[in-house]
Structure 1
Amino acid sequence: MTQRRLYLGPLTDNRRWERVAIRPDDVIVVTPPKCGTTWMQTIVALLLSGDPEVETELSIRMPWVDIRLRDIDEVAARLEAMAERRSMKSHTPMDGVPLDGAAQYICVFRHPLDAHFSFRNHVRNTPLRWFDHWYPEEDPGGVAFKRFLDGGPEGFDTDAMPLAHILRHYEAARAVAERENVHLFHFADMRRDLAGAFARVAEILGVTHPPGLMARLVQAATFDNMKADAARFCPSGGKGFFRSDAGFFASGANGQWEGKLTAAELEAYDAAMQAALAPEARCWLEFGAEA
């Protein structure tokens, strides 16, 4: 863990990365939860395979290294045995992930309020009752949003994805964004121009496909197609882990918080964002490049 920050939560432990030998051609997707992780992993899988029908099997073929639910010895051995080009994911900020000089790091961000409301849907769709403390099913007092604003960026709060953790992700990614192998994407930009996102990721990966095939790959990664075939695209899809595989892809929309927060809650969020970020940096985090 030399020169890397420790992120140790109820579900995740970034010390697990010590067991993974990074290869120069690895692709590591690093995001806060519910910011487009599965979407970006799918784009990477489609581009690396060149097959619109590829079985992504993200949990196995492109594993989440940090999560403790899988034995790290098994994960490390499986990764080491892969002869093909590998991809992995992490919900640990970049200051807690091993930063190799040649591997590619793709960081995806989303409006923090959209990520928060998507996470609310997500925890209701999992069997992990630990989240009930942060996200009670009946919440007339707004406990979930209070904890979103008050939670810390690391420690026990890490896996509940408070605003501070999203901001830590963003700050850590921006701190290394000048490197040629670190790339920042925004969920809203991907929604606006999925073909453009594919073209940019293809350039990062150094792969090319004929225009007709690229169009089919892009179509495979549209929100509607992924939700319609959720058992294929959802992490651990078809295995009964989630209450609903389709529910994993709740809406994919922007502006989910509109009409759901009180004026006082919005004022508190605005104050936290103003204190944390300069206006231009905040604008990009919330709305992407076209803000």
Structure 2
Amino acid sequence: MARISVVIPTFRRPDGLRRAVESALAQEGAPDFEVIVVDNAPEGGADRALAGIKDARLTLIAEPNPGVATARNAGWAAAVAPRIAFLDDDEEALPGWLAALDTALTDLGADIVFGPIDTVLPETTPAAHRDFLKGFFARTGPAEDAVLDDYHGCGNSMIAREGLSLTAAPFDAKADQLGGEDDLLFAMLKHKGARFGWASRARVLEYVPESRACLRYALARGFAYGQGPSQSCAARTPPDAPGVIGWMAVGAAQAVAYGAAAGLLWAIRSPRRAAMLDRSVQGLGKLFWGDRFAPRLYGGA
């Protein structure tokens, strides 16, 4: 039986999917692994994208109900291994990626580890915000493997599910169109004492599509990211009302302070203006954390 299941959810990205799958299957130095692709498009199509790839380790399943949490849950349920790695369909795993995740998880005694992400932007990316967008989609961390105090997103991660007592569908389907399903899960696990780690050599490339390589999308996603802390407190049983109020207060302060700074930087056309505006928008997310305010960025939306 495989020791690692690599889960790749996909939604209408045939070129990215093929690149992601080929990079996963090319991994060397890792324990036995399988690759599970979850086709989350109602009309299908992943089979055509993967035509010609013949590998016994590759399994394609269909989950026609569009939604990021539902797709991850389908891959989780289909996985047979005690360790699950997540690779997104816009990512390419570099050589040694899977072995580095597995080694860091073991050596650090962690429950979940995350790896670095380098951004590949399209040539059409606006020059004024190119540096900001490159950093926005990237993920950086310590130069060496290390224990982390906090968590990152699910793409380029590995979870040791045997010690976490998770359900067969650990990602909240309420986040299907909103995203943040990983934040909700990892925040809950942090509250229960889960240990996070950084796999410094588990590097992937993220190919940002033209539709997302713009300030409008980044700010919408930044707002959704900002909602995470408040939503995580509200989702606890019972809800952590003081935590919600605290994060809302932090968000209000951030929105005002960073918003004023962003206005000044915009007036002088500073290259830092987009980053400051992003911080202000994240503050607004903490303040207006309800689902009715959340941008629909995934699934059928």
TM-score strictly above 0.5: no
Q: Which structure's residues are more often helix, by fraction?
A: 1
- Relative contact order (C-alpha < 8 Å, sep 6+): which is higher? 1
Richer in strand (by share): 2
> TM-score by structure 1 length?
0.28
